[in-house]
């Protein structure tokens, strides 16, 4: 068997196939509702067949191939086939609209597209009408009837399997240059048109090695990852997918975010890669349930949470628990922590990575205190993405850790975080002006984030330049930290700070309705709808207290003077959040302008 130089993820995958053969690589829920396993060998057979299909369809090295699908094992097959033949994967978020998908395919010069489901295929076929150079569409799902211009994955694999010139695979894979582009990932476009981030084979191979080097011993042994973040996002792509392949781990595919907790208990993963929103929802959901528990259960839970706080120095500094505290922790674990973790499907969790946005200290400490190591990291699509990560031997909640190996992180003018390292992108596709603007004269990437570095080299993110608000009094305000403080409230699900060119700060607040409704029932407050509930004077008074309590550490100019309670949660479907669950501030401010203006009656 050929041993490949590990200069691309396609080559690394081939080497690991030879090492792991018939061992399980992926686990997925089949149409019968049962979890099914696929081995390294079986998945590779499909990768090679699909690679041959691409070659026979005339796909050349450097050609762009779009991939429009939710997470599923077929996403891996398509990606590995594309990069194995030297082509470029252009992922599209499964939730993107027809126009967003059309823009990405047109801007990237994609020649064909893999689609997950019929709804994705329908969008691509519609977009194809405006793309004269666009070719075939391959759908992962089977079709009840043939559609012109659409090939099922089953038929594509059969066509590739029948091809005779299989030696073409090595002729494509071996000569791949590490500086060749692997993928073009389009930014989520919170402001302006999305830009295509060109990431090379070197970017991915370097970043996977960098993440692995944070603590190789910690990830040693058998592990099962649970994949639910979009594979179109660089965090899941690099850490949840490529790192798993690099280290030879199993990956289970969650059915959907709606069934995530159910899938957790089915799979009981040992490693988790997530965005802060998931940790927030689990934490707030547990607290909401405890709000309606019996007095004895509440007392016991409060005692356990106090023990969890005492445990923080031990778990964060990787120190063994000793003496009386060890006995107390073991009792809390037996009575409370172990039951919570088992209920959540987190009883085998060795490590949980948080990225893609700031994780509140309260959320981090909730999991850490129970003995679940949560590592917050940092990075951007343009850095493949990881540049910083907390380590198993020293976790500092509220920071994103030290820089990973071979990476220089420094603070530039105005507190901007600047980065140089092998994981930094090649540039923006067909956008030289934006590429030049993204780098300093000495070659550092401008992140657009503001931060500070402590004595241990741990980076703390304090805001984002484009989010900074300037009040009418000329004060600069970074909303991110204020919003995170509000989210520590049991009764607040989402928050957006308003204040740009205004006399004072205000906030749009989405209540945590499960917790709020439990509170209202305890207080014998009757209501007919959520709108009715949030207009109740006692509820408004509750939120006044919550806002005041969580603003105590902020300067007068940073205090929230007024707020407006929303009756619906913001979502990606309504265009208010990105696929990685970040607020689209501009959209929210435009969409709810009347609600905002009601908080500024004298302006």
The tens digit of pLDDT for each residue in 235-264 reads: 999 999 999 999 999 999 999 888 998 999
> How large is the average pLDDT for residues 11-26?
98
Q: Is the pLDDT of residue 190 over 70?
A: no
33-224 matches 468-597 in fold = no
What's the confidence (pLDDT) of residue 466? 85
Measured distance CA(469)–CA(446) in Å, rounded: 20
Is the pLDDT confidence value at 394 over 90?
yes
Q: Work out the end-to-end distance of the chain between its first and last CA atoms, rounded to an integer number of angstroms.
A: 74
pLDDT for position 555: 87
Cα gap 362→486, rounded to integer Å: 11
Across-strand partners of 96? none
Residues 161-171 have pLDDT tens digits of 999 888 999 99
The CATH architecture one would assign to domain 33-224 is 3-Layer(aba) Sandwich (3.40)
Is 70 exceeded by the pLDDT of residue 1? no
Residue 561's pLDDT band, with cuts at 50, 70 and 90, is very high
pLDDT tens by residue, 465-479:
888 888 777 878 888
Q: Please list the alpha-helical segments (H only) found in 523-572.
A: 530-534, 537-550
The pLDDT value recorded for residue 384 is 97
Determine contact, residues 345/264, Cβ cutoff 8 Å: yes
Sheet strand arrangement including 505-511: 492-498, 505-511, 560-565
**Can you tell me the distance from the alpha carbon of 407 to that of 404, in angstroms, rounded to the nearest whole number?**
6
* pLDDT recorded at residue 36: 98
% residues pLDDT > 70 (the chain): 99
pLDDT in tens, 288-331: 888 888 999 999 999 999 999 999 999 999 999 999 999 999 99
Task: Give the pLDDT score at 166.
Answer: 85
Give the pLDDT score at 192.
Answer: 63
Residue 382 has pLDDT above 70, yes or no: yes
Architecture, CATH, for domain 468-597: 2-Layer Sandwich (3.30)
Inter-residue contact 261 to 345 (CB < 8 Å): yes
Tell me the mean pLDDT in the region 537-555: 94
* Predicted local confidence at residue 424, as pLDDT: 98
Q: Indicate the domain borders of the chain.
A: 33-224, 468-597
Q: What is the mean pLDDT of the chain?
A: 93
pLDDT for res 426: 97
| Residue range 58-68, pLDDT digits in tens | 999 999 999 99
d(Cα 209, Cα 213) in Å, to the nearest integer? 6
């Amino acid at each position: 068997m050929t041993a490949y130089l590990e200069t691309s993820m396609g080559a690394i995958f081939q080497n690991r196939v030879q090492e792991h053969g018939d061992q399980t690589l992926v686990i997925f829920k089949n149409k019968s509702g049962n979890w099914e396993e696929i081995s390294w060998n079986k998945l590779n057979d499909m990768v090679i067949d699909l690679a041959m299909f691409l070659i026979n369809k005339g796909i050349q090295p450097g050609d762009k191939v779009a991939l429009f699908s939710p997470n599923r094992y077929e996403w891996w097959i398509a990606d590995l086939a594309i990069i194995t033949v030297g082509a470029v994967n252009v992922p599209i978020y499964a939730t993107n609209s027809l126009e967003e998908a059309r823009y990405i395919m047109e801007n990237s010069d994609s020649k064909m597209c893999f689609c997950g489901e019929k709804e994705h295929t329908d969008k691509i076929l519609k977009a194809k009408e405006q793309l004269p150079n666009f070719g075939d569409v391959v759908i992962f799902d089977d079709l009840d009837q043939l559609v012109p211009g659409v090939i099922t994955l089953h038929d594509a694999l059969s066509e590739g399997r029948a091809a005779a010139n299989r030696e073409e695979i090595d002729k494509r894979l071996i000569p791949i240059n590490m500086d060749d582009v692997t993928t073009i990932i389009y930014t989520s476009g919170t402001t302006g048109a999305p830009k295509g981030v060109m990431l090379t084979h070197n970017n991915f191979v370097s970043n996977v090695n960098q993440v692995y080097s944070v603590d190789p011993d910690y990830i040693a042994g058998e592990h099962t990852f649970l994949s639910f973040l979009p594979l179109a996002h660089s965090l899941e792509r690099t850490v949840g997918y490529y790192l798993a392949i690099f280290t030879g781990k199993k990956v289970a595919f969650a059915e959907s975010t709606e069934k995530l907790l159910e899938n957790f208990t089915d799979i009981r993963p040992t490693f988790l890669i997530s965005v802060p929103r998931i940790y927030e929802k689990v934490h707030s959901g547990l607290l909401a349930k405890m709000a309606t528990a019996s007095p004895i259960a509440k007392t016991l839970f409060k005692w356990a949470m106090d023990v969890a706080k005492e445990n923080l120095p031990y778990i964060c500094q990787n120190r063994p628990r000793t003496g009386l505290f060890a006995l107390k922790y073991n009792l809390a674990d037996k009575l409370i922590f172990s039951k919570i973790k088992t209920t959540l499907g987190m009883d085998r969790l060795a490590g949980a990575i948080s990225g893609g946005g700031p994780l509140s200290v309260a959320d981090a400490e909730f999991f850490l205190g129970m003995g679940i190591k949560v590592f917050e990291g940092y990075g951007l699509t343009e850095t493949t993405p990881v540049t910083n990560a907390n380590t198993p031997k020293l976790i500092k909640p509220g920071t994103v850790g030290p820089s990973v190996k071979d990476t220089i992180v420094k603070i530039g003018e105005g507190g901007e975080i600047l980065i140089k390292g092998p994981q930094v992108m090649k540039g923006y596709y067909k956008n030289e002006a934006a590429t030049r603007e993204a780098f300093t004269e000495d070659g550092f990437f401008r992140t657009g984030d503001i931060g500070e570095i402590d004595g241990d080299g741990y980076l703390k993110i304090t805001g984002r330049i484009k989010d900074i608000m300037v009040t009418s009094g000329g004060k600069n305000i970074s909303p991110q930290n204020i919003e995170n403080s509000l989210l520590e409230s049991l009764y607040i699900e989402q928050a957006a700070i308003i204040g740009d060119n205004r006399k004072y700060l205000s906030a749009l607040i989405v209540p945590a309705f499960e917790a709020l409704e439990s509170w209202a029932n305890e207080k014998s407050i009757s209501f007919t709808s959520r709108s009715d509930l949030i207009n109740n004077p006692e509820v408004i008074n509750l939120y006044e207290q919550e806002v005041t309590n969580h603003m105590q550490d902020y300067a007068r100019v940073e205090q929230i003077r007024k707020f407006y309670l929303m009756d619906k949660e913001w979502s990606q479907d309504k265009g208010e959040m990105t696929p990685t669950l970040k607020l689209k501030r501009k959209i929210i401010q435009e969409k709810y302008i009347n609600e905002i203006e009601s908080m500024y009656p004298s302006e």
